[in-house]
Amino acid sequence: MNVKLPSPLVFDCHDNRDASRSTVGYGHQTCSRRCSNGLRPIFFHSPVTPRRLWATTKLYLLPFMPYPTFSGYIYVPLALTLLPSPSILCSFDGRTQGRDEDLFWSFDVSASVSRRSELGSGFNWESWRQQGGWYNFLKDKVSDIANAGVTHVWLPPPSHSVGVQGYMPGRLYDLGASKYGNQDELKALIGAFHDKGVKCVADIVINHRCGDKQDGRGIWCIFEGGTDDARLDWVLRRHRQPRHRRGLRGGPDIDHLNTQVQRELTDWLNWLKTDIGFDGWRLDFAKGYSSSIAKIYVEQTQPNFVVAEIWSSLAYGNDGKPAYDQNGNRQQLVDWVQQVGGPATAFDFTTKGILQAAVEGELWRMRDPQGKAPGMMGWWPEKAVTFVDNHDTGSTQRMWPFPSDKVIQGYAYILTHPGVPSIFYDHMFDWGLKEAITQLAEIRTRNGIHSGSALNILASDADLYMAMIDGKILTKLGSRDDVGNLVPSNFHVVASGNDYCVWEKR
- Alpha-carbon distances, residue 494 vs 10, 460, 476 (angstroms): 39, 22, 12
**Predicted pLDDT at 237:** 67
Q: Judge if 335 and 401 occupy the same domain.
A: yes
Q: Judge if 315 and 173 occupy the same domain.
A: yes
Residues of the chain with pLDDT > 90, as a percent, come to 71
Please say whether the beta carbons of 145 and 184 come within 8 A.
no
Euclidean distance between CA atoms 178 and 157, whole angstroms: 8
Q: Which of 112, 135, 166 is the C-terminal boundary of a domain?
A: 112
pLDDT at 47 over 90: no
499: phi > 0 → left, psi -120 to 50 → alpha, else beta; which? Answer: left
Residue 361 lies in a domain: yes
Euclidean distance between CA atoms 442 and 411, whole angstroms: 12
**Which residue in 332, 417, 430, 360 sits closest to 389, CA to CA?**
430
Q: What is the CATH number of the domain that holds 154?
A: 3.20.20.80
- What does the pLDDT average to over 293-304? 98
The pTM of this model reads 0.79
Element holding 414 (H helix, E strand): helix 407-414
Q: pLDDT tier at 224 (50, 70, 90 boundaries)?
A: very high
- What does the pLDDT average to over 187-208? 98
Please say whether the beta carbons of 420 and 432 come within 8 A.
no
* Three-class SS state of 303: coil
Residue 233 lies in a domain: no
Please give the residue that has the higher pLDDT: either 245 or 185: 185
- What does the pLDDT average to over 440-445? 98
Q: pLDDT tier at 112 (50, 70, 90 boundaries)?
A: very low
Euclidean distance between CA atoms 26 and 370, whole angstroms: 12
* Three-class SS state of 79: helix
- What does the pLDDT average to over 12-26? 34
pLDDT at 110 over 60: no
Catalytic residue among 284, 348, 389, 426: 284
**Which residue in 189, 164, 137 sits closest to 429, CA to CA?**
137
Per DSSP, helices labelled H in 347-387 are 349-358, 376-379
**Predicted pLDDT at 90:** 32
Cβ-based neighbour number of residue 276 at 10 Å: 15
- What does the pLDDT average to over 340-350? 98
Q: Judge if 294 and 310 occupy the same domain.
A: yes
Phi/psi at 218 (nearest 5 deg)? 85, 15
* Cα within 13 Å of Cα(482), Cβ side: 1
- What does the pLDDT average to over 193-205? 98
- Alpha-carbon distances, residue 173 vs 81, 148, 159, 160, 275 (angstroms): 51, 32, 6, 8, 11
Catalytic residue among 203, 224, 309, 470: 309
**Predicted pLDDT at 185:** 98
Please say whether the beta carbons of 193 and 151 come within 8 A.
no
Q: Which of 50, 78, 112 is the C-terminal boundary of a domain?
A: 112
pLDDT at 262 over 60: yes
Q: Judge if 375 and 493 occupy the same domain.
A: no
- Domain extent, residue 487, equals 464-505
Q: Judge if 346 and 471 occupy the same domain.
A: no
Domain total for the chain?
Answer: 3
Rg from Cα positions in the chain: 24
DSSP string, 218-257: S-EEEE--SSSSSTT-EE--S------STT--S-PBP-TT
**Residue 309 catalytic?**
yes
Please give the residue that has the higher pLDDT: either 255 or 97: 255
Q: Using one digit for the tens of pLDDT, what is the confidence trace for 374-422?
A: 999 999 999 999 999 999 999 999 999 999 999 999 999 999 999 999 9
Per DSSP, helices labelled H in 250-347 are 259-271, 291-301, 327-340
Euclidean distance between CA atoms 157 and 125, whole angstroms: 12
Residue 248 lies in a domain: no
**Which residue in 456, 457, 458, 404 sits closest to 432, CA to CA?**
404
What is the per-residue burial (b if ≥16 Cβ within 10 Å, else e) of 230-253?
Answer: ebbebebeeeeeeeebeeeeebbe
pLDDT at 315 over 60: yes
pLDDT at 48 over 80: no
Q: Judge if 336 and 377 occupy the same domain.
A: yes
Euclidean distance between CA atoms 105 and 33, whole angstroms: 12
**Predicted pLDDT at 432:** 96
Please say whether the beta carbons of 43 and 106 come within 8 A.
yes
Residue 280 lies in a domain: yes
Q: Judge if 428 and 482 occupy the same domain.
A: no
- What does the pLDDT average to over 34-60? 37
Q: One-letter amino acid identity for 167?
A: Y
Q: Judge if 444 and 475 occupy the same domain.
A: no
Please say whether the beta carbons of 170 and 205 come within 8 A.
no
Residue 376 lies in a domain: yes
Q: One-letter amino acid identity for 407?
A: V
**Residue 118 catalytic?**
no
Residue 244 lies in a domain: no
pLDDT at 343 over 90: yes
**Angle in degrees, 0-180, between the axes of helices 349-358 and 327-340, rounded to the nearest 10:** 150
Q: In what order do the strands lie in the sheet with 500-505?
A: 455-461, 464-469, 473-477, 500-505, 491-497
Poorest-confidence range of 44-58, 95-109, 152-166, 433-447?
95-109
pLDDT at 186 over 80: yes
Q: pLDDT tier at 252 (50, 70, 90 boundaries)?
A: confident
Residue 358 lies in a domain: yes
Partner residues linked to 200 by β-bridges: 153
**Predicted pLDDT at 251:** 81
**Which residue in 296, 471, 449, 329 sits closest to 25, CA to CA?**
329
Q: Judge if 60 and 142 occupy the same domain.
A: no
Poorest-confidence range of 60-64, 159-163, 364-368?
60-64
Q: Which of 79, 112, 145 is the C-terminal boundary of a domain?
A: 112
Partner residues linked to 214 by β-bridges: 220
Q: Judge if 448 and 496 occupy the same domain.
A: no
Q: pLDDT tier at 361 (50, 70, 90 boundaries)?
A: very high
Q: pLDDT tier at 312 (50, 70, 90 boundaries)?
A: confident
Euclidean distance between CA atoms 456 and 467, whole angstroms: 5
For 273, counting Cβ atoms within 10 Å of its Cβ (0-12 exposed, 13-18 middle, 19+ buried), the class is: middle
pLDDT at 87 over 60: no
Q: Judge if 436 and 475 occupy the same domain.
A: no
Q: Judge if 291 and 149 occupy the same domain.
A: yes
Which letter does DSSP use for residue 154 in this model?
E
- What does the pLDDT average to over 439-459? 98
Residue 249 lies in a domain: no
Euclidean distance between CA atoms 203 and 276, whole angstroms: 13
Q: What is the CATH number of the domain that holds 473?
A: 2.60.40.1180
* Three-class SS state of 382: helix
Element holding 68 (H helix, E strand): strand 64-69
pLDDT at 321 over 90: yes
